[in-house]
Every structure is written in structure tokens, then in C-alpha cells.
């Protein structure tokens, strides 16, 4: 992920609300064989959503060690699935990397296990196809296929907002090993829909990528998409912002998960027009160090709220407003030391920006 200051980075990972389990969610334990998990995946019953973890996938060595653990019948930590009893859709909440390794071993004949000293020596460096065809080794393939794994199931209704907020909390709390998932990576799974697709598309906007100095092959782990989401949520609902950023954004995505085409087109037009004004008027012709997320958020809000008048302004005027903005006390080093997402600080920064760009 790109460099962020500690406070800005924290906001992408914060769990800022105490979400108790809804009384109508039922949790229970069951055992599933690896073959059964593969069948569920093939039948599109099990949604593993690999995209939200595409940048933190297990290495071949880690996958090999996990398969070796199954073969040796070592204890495996319980995985966690969400189960929507209305649609009969299953979703991996915790255990995606383990499921991915299992599926790869059972379906990818060309995959060669890594040559590692700490795995079964007969299997090191062997392809799945060689293992399956060998009289001596095929028993190991069958063992993986038939072994049962412990799974904690959360029986819920994905159509209920409270249930989705609780799933977000579970994602946040369980995915703590290795490289922790950030909030937008989790939202990409829990709130996948038309709004989420729009965020992905807008993240590829030419002016947006210039504004953020985004490199073609660099990983941003959905952080830029969260900035777009923040822009929409604060633009629409700043007056209702309570200071709990994660909850605020979750509720906005839940309320607008699959909006109508008019909503989507209006948001796309607002975003692209706003970003174009900022990039061309304030940034592209006078490159400087990368904007902080705090400044960028204020710019987006202030420009968008005055978009009609600003479209007729020249570059000099826009730069003048930007210079005034940076001199405001709300954007001083002292003000940005802590509590960036606090209710009063956010409202102060955004309303200050709105006022400055209104030229009043």
C-alpha cells in the first residue's frame, strides 16, 4: 500500500463501533470435507471473493505447507462461513487462503508442490497430476479430498442491514493474521453490488489517478476506492456524521448497495467533474508533493458543493482558493495531529472548504 501517515492509515483499519450480534443470527459448528467444499464452489454456492485479497494471497510455499498439514492430519483452525438461508448463498468470512489452497490442489493438475524440507519428502516438488497417478502417492490426494474440516457457520439474512454490519465486524475481528484486511477490502465483500462496482470503475478515472499520483502496477488495496466512498457519503450526509467513520461508510454502502441507474449516473458525473476541476485547475499544471487524504477529502467536498460556479473559474482563482484552504487553522499541523475522523474536526474542515470555494 502507498505511504500514508499513521493517522491516515489508521482510519482505513479502524473498527469504530461496538456491534453486538443480532438476536436472530444463529451460530453453529459443522464439519465439511474438502471434496464437499469444492463441490459447493463449483456449483457457485460458495463465494470466496478472491479479489478482495488478491494482493495478500498465500505464497506457493505457504499453500504447500497447508496441504502437507492436511495430509499429516494436523489440527486445522476452524474456518468461518456466512450462510444466507434465504438465497442459500455461502460466503467465506475467515479461511479464504485455506479454501484457495484446497481448491488449487484438487483441480490444478499442473501445480507443483514447493520443494521444502519440512514437508513429506515423497511429495516435495511433485505435481498434483503425478501425485494422483502414482500408486504410492494417490492415497495422499484422496486423504485431502475426504478429510473433514471444522467450520463455524453464521446463519443470517444478507438482506438485513444489522446482519451485514455484524458480518463486517466478524471480518474485521477474525482477519488479523498475516496482513490484516482494511475496511474497504471487507466492504468489497460484504457490500458487493452496483455502488461497489461504480467505486472500482471510478478508481480508474484518468484525472483521479493523476491527482493521487497512482502508478500502473502499484497496489493500493482499495484505499483509493474508500476515498471515493467517503466523498459520496460526506457529500450526501455530512450533517448526520457522528464521528464513527467505519460505521458511517458501512451504512452508506448498505443503504445504496444496489441503487437505480439515475443515482449511479449522477454520482459518476459529480465525481468526474469534481476531480477534473481539481486536477486541471489546481494540480496537473503545477505538480507538487502528493496531497494528503485529509486535504484531498476537503478539496473534493468544497469543489463539489460549489461545482456550478467553479466550472467557469480560471486556474488562477482556483489556486488562490487552494492556498487559502491550506492556511486555515483546521488544516494546521496542530489540528491534524490526532482525531482526524472526529465529528467536529471533519465538519469544520469540510465546511471551511465549502465556504472558501464559494468565494464568500
Instruction: Find cell 473534493 and name the residue.
Output: 300
Q: How far is CA 43 from the centre of its chain?
A: 25
Question: Alpha-carbon distance 48 to 92, whole Å?
Answer: 5
What is the model's pLDDT at position 20? 74
- Domain segments of the chain as ranges: 6-17+179-357, 26-156
What is the pLDDT at residue 73?
94
How many Cβ atoms from other residues are within 10 Å of residue 149's Cβ?
20
Q: How far is CA 235 from CA 111, 200, 257, 301, 349, in A?
A: 49, 19, 17, 6, 13
Q: Name which of 317, 313, 303 is nearest 357 in CA terms.
A: 303
- List, for residues 324-356, the tens digit of each pLDDT value: 888 888 787 666 666 678 899 899 999 999 999
Residue ranges of the alpha helices (H) in 279-335?
A: 293-304, 307-310, 315-327
User: What sections of the chain are H helices per DSSP?
Assistant: 6-11, 34-42, 60-71, 96-107, 128-133, 138-146, 161-174, 183-190, 194-202, 206-211, 223-237, 245-255, 261-278, 293-304, 307-310, 315-327, 343-357
Backbone φ, ψ for residue 183 (5° rounding)? -60, -40
Are 79 and 215 in contact by the 8 Å Cβ rule? The answer is no
Residue 128: the pLDDT is 96
Q: Which residues of the chain have pLDDT under 50?
A: 1-3, 6-7, 50, 52-55
3 state DSSP class of 249:
helix
CA angle 157, 16, 232 (to 5 degrees): 75
The answer to whether the CB of 168 falls within 8 A of the CB of 254 is no
89-94 and 148-156: which strand pairing?
A: unpaired
Please state, in angstroms and rounded to a whole number, the distance separating the CA atoms of residues 70 and 228.
42
Closest CA to 254 of 194, 297, 200: 194
Q: Which residue has the cell 505457504?
A: 62
Could you give the C-alpha distances from 215 to 29, 135, 203, 227, in angstroms and in order? 44, 50, 12, 17
- CA quadruple 282, 339, 346, 256: dihedral sign: positive
Q: What is the pLDDT of residue 7?
A: 46
State the pLDDT at residue 103: 94
Nearest 10 degrees: Cα torsion 129, 133, 139, 141: 20
| Separation CA 73–CA 59 (nearest Å) | 21
pLDDT (0 to 100) of residue 1? 42
Amino acid at each position: 500500500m502507498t505511504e500514508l501517515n499513521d493517522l491516515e492509515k489508521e482510519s482505513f483499519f479502524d473498527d469504530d463501533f461496538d456491534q453486538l450480534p443480532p438476536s436472530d443470527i444463529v451460530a453453529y459448528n459443522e464439519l465439511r470435507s474438502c471434496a464437499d467444499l469444492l463441490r459447493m464452489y463449483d456449483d457457485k454456492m460458495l463465494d470466496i471473493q478472491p479479489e478482495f485479497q488478491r494482493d495478500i494471497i498465500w505464497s506457493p510455499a505457504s499453500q504447500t505447507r497447508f496441504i502437507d498439514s492436511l495430509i499429516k492430519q494436523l489440527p486445522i483452525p476452524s474456518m468461518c462461513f456466512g450462510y444466507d438461508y434465504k438465497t442459500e448463498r455461502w460466503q467465506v468470512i475467515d479461511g479464504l487462503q485455506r479454501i484457495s489452497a484446497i481448491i488449487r490442489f484438487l483441480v490444478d493438475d499442473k501445480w507443483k508442490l514447493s520443494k521444502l524440507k519440512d514437508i513429506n519428502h515423497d511429495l516435495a516438488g511433485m505435481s498434483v497430476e503425478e501425485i494422483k497417478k502414482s500408486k504410492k502417492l494417490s492415497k495422499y490426494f484422496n486423504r485431502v479430498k475426504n478429510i473433514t474440516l471444522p467450520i463455524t457457520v453464521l446463519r443470517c439474512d444478507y438482506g438485513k442491514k444489522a446482519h451485514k454490519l455484524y458480518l463486517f465486524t466478524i471480518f474485521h475481528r477474525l482477519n488479523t493474521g498475516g496482513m490484516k484486511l482494511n475496511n474497504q477490502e471487507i466492504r468489497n465483500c460484504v457490500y458487493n453490488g452496483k455502488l461497489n462496482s461504480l467505486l472500482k470503475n471510478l478508481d480508474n478515472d484518468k484525472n483521479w489517478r493523476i491527482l493521487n499520483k497512482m502508478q500502473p502496477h502499484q497496489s493500493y488495496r482499495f484505499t483509493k476506492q474508500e476515498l471515493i466512498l467517503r466523498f459520496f457519503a460526506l457529500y450526501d450526509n455530512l450533517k448526520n456524521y457522528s464521528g464513527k467513520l467505519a460505521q458511517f461508510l458501512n451504512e452508506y454502502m448498505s443503504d445504496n448497495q444496489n441503487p437505480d441507474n439515475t443515482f449511479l449516473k449522477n454520482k459518476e458525473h459529480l465525481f468526474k467533474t469534481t476531480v477534473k476541476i481539481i486536477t486541471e485547475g489546481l494540480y496537473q499544471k503545477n505538480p507538487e508533493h502528493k496531497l494528503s487524504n485529509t486535504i484531498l477529502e476537503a478539496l473534493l467536498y468544497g469543489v463539489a458543493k460549489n461545482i456550478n460556479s467553479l466550472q467557469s473559474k480560471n486556474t488562477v482563482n482556483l489556486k488562490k482558493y487552494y492556498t487559502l484552504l491550506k492556511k486555515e487553522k483546521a488544516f494546521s499541523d496542530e489540528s491534524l495531529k490526532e482525531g482526524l475522523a472526529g465529528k467536529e474536526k471533519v465538519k469544520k474542515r469540510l465546511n471551511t472548504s465549502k465556504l472558501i470555494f464559494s468565494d464568500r
